[in-house]
Amino acid sequence: MQKKSRVGRKIFLFSAGILLLLFAIYQELVVYGVRQGIGQAKIIWYAKPVEDFIADPNYPDSLKQKLLLIGEIRRFAIDSLGLNDTDVYKKMYDQQGKPIMWVVQACEPFALQSVKWTFPLIGAVPYKGFFKQELALALRDELKASGKDVMVRNPGGWSTLGWFNDPILSNMLKRSEGDLASLIIHEMVHTTMFIKDSIDFNENLANFIGDAGALEFVRHKFGKESKQYFEYLYEDDDYTLFAEHMLRGTKRLDSLYTTFEEQQSIEEKKQLKEATIRSIVMRLDTLSLKLVEKPSKRFVNHLPNNAYFMSFMQYEAKQNYFERECEARFNNDLKKYLEHLKQKYASD
């Protein structure tokens, strides 16, 4: 009996040692995961059923209409687009007008190569999210100190990929009807289909289905001659032209960076890079946009960097591919196209 006790103690100590070793190796990932879990749990825990807001006599009628609209968008996405029928967006978390999420993206200074972080289940991704601003800014400063181009943004939504019932975030209600539909459908695509280590594919697909699906929804809900339809159509057209311009800009930058030689000074590289980016920004004003007169104004106080340009590669570069395939093989039937993709990538 005593011998068995000693053996059991050795097994326990060995197992504990292995766990401690694993924690030491993956401490940063574990701590990050715990923090993210707490942040997500807080939002999900404090979210209230949409019906509570609808029944509240003090809640603005205009926002109640947006909440009811989200219910219609969900139903349309499930029935007409074939997205998974889950319990997402049946509750809402009141942000009280404040941002609650920060996403950090980074890129090499003289190459269009994103910094990536690897996580269980989703694989390598070119961004890292936080529910505390100070943690996002600390990572930003750390990456900047190492010479990286860095961008911090507040995402409009986020998806737990079907693991939890994602709530509506109250700031979403500030969006136009079409833009709101695009966001909801985008995130529901992630819940329906997400391929590990393929973030560019995932985000581009969600954008494509989100934008095309939103246009179908607005046409179905409000009619092709409605104010809401034309408002979203113009928004989408303008953004498409803007994104295509930025994608052309990434090619210019990539071509520039391939000419850089090791003996060139950092200062010379910075000057050439800045001149190219400034040229890309100024040429924005040559675009024939319907809703924005001078798009370069958004960069009047700061020029975009490589991290900003790479975000267009991650979210927009495959739009033409999806559009062509959907039209040529499925006659623009988004539901059939998505079903095809789900079957094609089922093993992933």
Residue 199 maps to a domain: no
What DSSP element (H or E) covers 94? none
With a cut of 70, say whether residue 212 has pLDDT above it. yes
Q: Please, which pLDDT band fits residue 157 given cuts at 50, 70 and 90?
A: confident
Q: Which amino acid is at 141?
A: D
Share of the chain above pLDDT 70, in %: 92
Are 200 and 127 in contact by the 8 Å Cβ rule? The answer is: no
State the average pLDDT over residues 189-213: 95
**For residue 96, what is the DSSP state?**
T
The alpha-helical segments, DSSP class H, found in the chain are 2-25, 27-46, 50-55, 61-79, 133-145, 177-192, 199-222, 227-259, 266-282, 306-316, 319-330, 334-344
Higher per-residue confidence, 38 vs 340: 340
Structural domain boundaries, residue 33 = 1-46
Which sign, positive or negative, has the C-alpha torsion 289, 321, 200, 334?
positive
Which tokens belong to 177? Answer: 């009807």
**Residue 267 burial (CB count, 10 A):** 8
230 backbone dihedrals φ, ψ, rounded to 5° = -70, -35
Residue 20 maps to a domain: yes
Closest residue by Cα to residue 191 from 177, 179, 202 = 202
Higher per-residue confidence, 126 vs 6: 126
Residue 96 maps to a domain: no
Residues 6+ apart with CB under 8 A from 43: 93, 100, 131, 167, 169
Higher per-residue confidence, 163 vs 260: 260
Number of compact structural domains in the chain: 1
Residue 22 maps to a domain: yes
**Residue 93 burial (CB count, 10 A):** 19
What DSSP element (H or E) covers 151? strand 149-153
Residue 171 maps to a domain: no
State the average pLDDT over residues 316-329: 96
Q: Give the CA angle between residues 77, 80, 81 to the nearest 5°.
A: 60
With a cut of 80, say whether residue 307 has pLDDT above it. yes
Are 252 and 276 in contact by the 8 Å Cβ rule? The answer is: yes
Q: How far is CA 246 from CA 16, 77, 116, 191, 241, in A?
A: 52, 30, 21, 28, 9
With a cut of 70, say whether residue 119 has pLDDT above it. yes
